[in-house]
Amino acid sequence: MTVPFVDLKCQYQSIKTEIDRAIENVLETSSFVLGKAVTEFESRFAHEHQVRHCCALSSGTDGNHLALWVLGVGPGDEVIIPANTFIATAWGATLCGATPVFVDCDSESYNVDPGAVEKAITPKTKAIVAVHLYGQPANMDPLIEIAARYNIHLIEDCAQAHLSEYNGKKVGGIGEIASWSFYPGKNLGAYGEAGANTTNDDELAAKCRMLRDHGSSQKYHHELLGHNYRMEGIQGAVLGVKLKYLEAWTEKRRQNANLYQNRLEGVGDIVLPAEMSYAKHVYHLYVIQTSKRDGLQNYLTSKGVSTGLHYPIPIHLQKCFSSLGYKKGDFPVAERLAERCLSLPMYAELTLEQIEYVTNTIREFYS
């Protein structure tokens, strides 16, 4: 049996008629940039996440940049970022001319450690980015308290956390502003690059919309130095169709995670992901730990099971950040996860038969 890491074609086939009709409508109306499909998606996405505003963008990386940009982050500022995240989180700071300051993560949730955040604050600290990694929200209450006490901004990186909840509240409206990715493999994925910012602040929302469109709120009237971060009409149309299914797809992911949990409990030295008491985990990724990570991955590959590594080189040890002076041993939790974590196949269309094959193959490896 072959089990892909993610099966976007299977998902497309399940909603093909609606997707094709939505794309065709964009072609017929020629609303290729922004337009009605994007506006409707913005409204519905904001509603689903219990937030006032959604500003649709051309990528999640743009969202990381814009979230800090609208808050006035710039040269000379520092932005605290977890060492255990995808590198695009840090681009938000570097694109503003600011310096990313990395901190270690919690060993149980894999998300940023609030205690480490507070220790990293300096007079130059302008913002904290809380990443909701793998689909599980960061522990926000301590971060909110720290941000308020030191008068610094708190941003959410929700790239992997669509419909995730923290203490019963949807992510995306807990910090001042949030960034989102709709990269094709995400829980809510476009058919190309796409992203967004969400916020409850009317002024930040208005500024986002201007900066994404060349600093303009009216054509040929440019009030701010801006950029071109506009979402394409086809991506808005695709996301609008998919959003209707997101809640059902999310519950299927959670069911699949539960099947993995039951079938892998006590197998070898595997450490299973923990859903924190404050969290509703949406399992963008199902990530296990093992000291035999590379051997297990090779064995699964030989048996037709695709896996992923998220992330094999911690962000503070990436060559592009060598000038910041970080070294191996600075963030032991993130570094240990980088050596031990393995992502198993996870998507809504994953079948019981496929999960049984994956877990049986893992049991074979340990036997």
Q: Which fold has domain 246-366?
A: Aspartate Aminotransferase, domain 1 (3.90.1150)
The predicted-structure confidence for 187-233, as pLDDT tens digits, reads as follows: 999 999 999 999 999 999 999 999 999 999 989 999 999 999 999 99
The predicted-structure confidence for 138-153, as pLDDT tens digits, reads as follows: 999 999 999 999 999 9
Domain 8-243 sits in CATH at 3.40.640.10
Domain ranges within the chain, ordered by starting residue: 8-243, 246-366
SS3 string, the chain, reads CCECCCCHHHHHHHCHHHHHHHHHHHHHHCCCECCHHHHHHHHHHHHHCCCCEEEEECCHHHHHHHHHHCCCCCCCCEEEEECCCCCHHHHHHHHCCCEEEEECECCCCCCECHHHHHHHCCCCEEEEEEECHHHCCCCHHHHHHHHHHHCCEEEEECCCCCCCEECCEECCCCCCEEEEECCCCCCCCCCCCCEEEEECCHHHHHHHHHHHECCEEECCEECCCCCECECEHHHHHHHHHHHCCHHHHHHHHHHHHHHHHHHHCCCCCCECCCCCCCEECCCCCEEEECCCHHHHHHHHHHCCECCECCCCCCHHHCHHHHHHCCCCCCCHHHHHHHHHEEEECCCCCCCHHHHHHHHHHHHHHHC
- The pLDDT profile of the chain, 367 residues, written as one tens digit per residue, is 999 999 999 999 999 999 999 999 999 999 999 999 999 999 999 999 999 999 999 999 999 999 999 999 999 999 999 999 999 999 999 999 999 999 999 999 999 999 999 999 999 999 999 999 999 999 999 999 999 999 999 999 999 999 999 999 999 999 999 999 999 999 999 999 999 999 999 999 999 999 999 999 989 999 999 999 999 999 999 999 999 999 999 999 999 999 999 999 999 999 999 999 999 999 999 999 999 999 999 999 999 999 999 999 999 999 999 999 999 999 999 999 999 999 999 999 999 999 999 999 999 999 9
Residue 162 has what pLDDT? 98
Q: Do 8-243 and 246-366 share a fold? A: no
